[in-house]
A and B are shown apart, each in its own frame.
Chain A
């Protein structure tokens, strides 16, 4: 289905400058940190985080009220020669999610990576804050980018910020994890770029809105889309490209793990959706969607089973991320393949995005909880968790309610997401995905209760807290977990909001 003419004639909208602001603010922070050094971390970050949250909220309300996408042509040059920034309902929702998680992470990390006055400046805090802001900037470019090459650069920025975060501690294991991550990322980025080159060669533009009208289902489009998708899958860590994820996400410091698991892998997923739904809407067919969702189903089963077998909490959470990423890929068969006038594809679409948002909040909270537990105990071996619930009641509670989202139990955003996906898969006659989701939910319940059961058990050995944890950090993790719960209270509005500024969901008849 062709996008309506109104979409193609977008001019820079009044609030378009907000998109530039969303990208420029974190970059200003990076430059200031480089120039001024570690002493000013607190002041710079304390100013930037609320400002960034404000911009994201402003973009959200502008899209909400206007009912159309915000557009900004950089330098006043229109595509195909210029680069457009474009925020539809989806981008706005992503931007707010990113801002909230980054803000929570910043509050959580203030103690661990603060630069106390009067002490000599350490390198790690400065690097951490620079990387955090760089991830924020890169994600904002990804969600508003409307040019495939611009998105390639943003993807690389995201990788360059995420990889060093993995090895911030500088241990041998974490450096290996970072290098492995980097090698997967190199593979992914070059495949993406090669696909971009083919698209430019065939269609003469890289602007997503223009491409939507030009791309036809022909070999060159198929090859380009296949290569780009494979590259992006490597960066998203979808099964079977997941090998790099567990050591990388488990090796990073807790706030780093939170951002990596909650946001960074979603950046490349967002691009896969942009590619198939927005840039090449006519290309998706039943077989391609089934292949992507089969990989997702493999991720759910494989990730969950391996999570059950882990002995260390951070690795367990990392394997759970692999499983939860799998659900996202059900968006392809459930939202892209439907008969005309079928309302169920809307269910699949909203369900997929609810899964992304609720997982972002829940997983960030969970990694923070794991970090607090590890700090208190001095280790994260699940078998020795006896008495944790007594020492850290708030953190254990946080872990539990974040777990609700992963399992898909009400009340949680994860429940709404999985319920919508289940309904869509049953109503569209693709019941096999529903079966996988049910098994995945059971397995998730298994690994969540495995941890909670140990944490709630009492122990014969007297509990030794190695270090006490500030209450404030526990509340930050709790607040993020509550965000995942609150998502369940807005179940129907999102479907409309996520459609703002987008062409109608492309309709492909099932075979």
Chain B
């Protein structure tokens, strides 16, 4: 039993690390959004492990983290949906799902030039 908890406990931060790496290094918005979801999954997994570890008073798990995880999933889902909606709109306008225009190295400065 302890082994499973430890395993999940290690998986959580590993997913978080993968997600963070993806979020920072991938330039494409779709991949960034996917990486955000991996990061989120890792966080929720860790929270689940904490609920299990904190079990007391004859319960299988601490109920508070479980309630928080559900809320967190809803919020993360809403965030994903909104990011995807923005991306789709961008695709409709430009025909591309990318934030880069002329200067890929410093995309934020391109709007300044006009």
Contacts and interface: CB of A to CB of B under 8 A. Distances in A.
Interface of A: 80-81, 149, 152-153, 156, 159-160, 163-164, 167, 170-173, 175-180, 182-183, 185-187, 189-190, 193-194, 197, 200-201, 204, 243-244, 246-247, 250-251, 310, 312, 315
Given A186-B36, A201-B50, A247-B111, A163 B86 contact: yes
Interface of B: 16, 19, 23-24, 29, 32-33, 36, 39-40, 42-43, 46-47, 50, 53-54, 64-65, 68, 71-72, 75-76, 78-79, 82-83, 86-87, 89-90, 93-94, 99, 101, 107-108, 111-112, 114
28 contacts: A149-B68, A152-B72, A152-B75, A163-B86, A172-B94, A175-B86, A179-B90, A179-B99, A182-B79, A182-B82, A183-B29, A183-B32, A183-B33, A183-B36, A185-B79, A186-B23, A187-B23, A187-B24, A190-B36, A190-B39, A193-B40, A194-B16, A194-B39, A200-B50, A200-B68, A246-B112, A247-B112, A315-B112
B43 A200 contact: no
Nearest to A309: B112
B83 A179 contact: yes
A177, A186, A250, most chain B CB atoms within 10 A: A186
A182 B86 contact: yes
From DSSP, what is the main secondary structure of chain A's interface residues? helix
Given A153-B75, A175-B93, A200 B65 contact: yes
A172 B90 contact: yes
Contacts of B86: 163, 167, 175, 178-179, 182
B75 A156 contact: yes
A175 B89 contact: yes
B74 to A, nearest CB: 9
A357 B63 CA distance: 40
B25 to A, nearest CB: 12
Contacts of B89: 167, 170, 175
Given A149-B68, A172-B93, A186-B79, 15 more contacts: A160-B78, A170-B89, A172-B94, A176-B111, A179-B99, A182-B82, A182-B83, A182-B86, A183-B32, A193-B43, A194-B16, A194-B39, A200-B47, A244-B108, A246-B112
A251 B78 contact: no
B87 A179 contact: yes
A183 B108 contact: no
Contacts of A193: 40, 43, 72
Nearest to B53: A201
The 8 A-B pairs of least Cβ separation, nearest first, read: A201-B50, A247-B111, A243-B108, A186-B36, A179-B86, A172-B93, A197-B47, A194-B43
Contacts of B50: 197, 200-201
A80 B36 CA distance: 30
A179, A185, A244, most chain B CB atoms within 10 A: A179
B43 A180 contact: no
Nearest to A178: B86
Contacts of B108: 180, 243-244, 246-247
A152 B78 CA distance: 14
Contacts of A310: 112
Contacts of A187: 23-24, 36
A170 B89 CA distance: 9
B90 A176 contact: yes
A204 B65 CA distance: 10
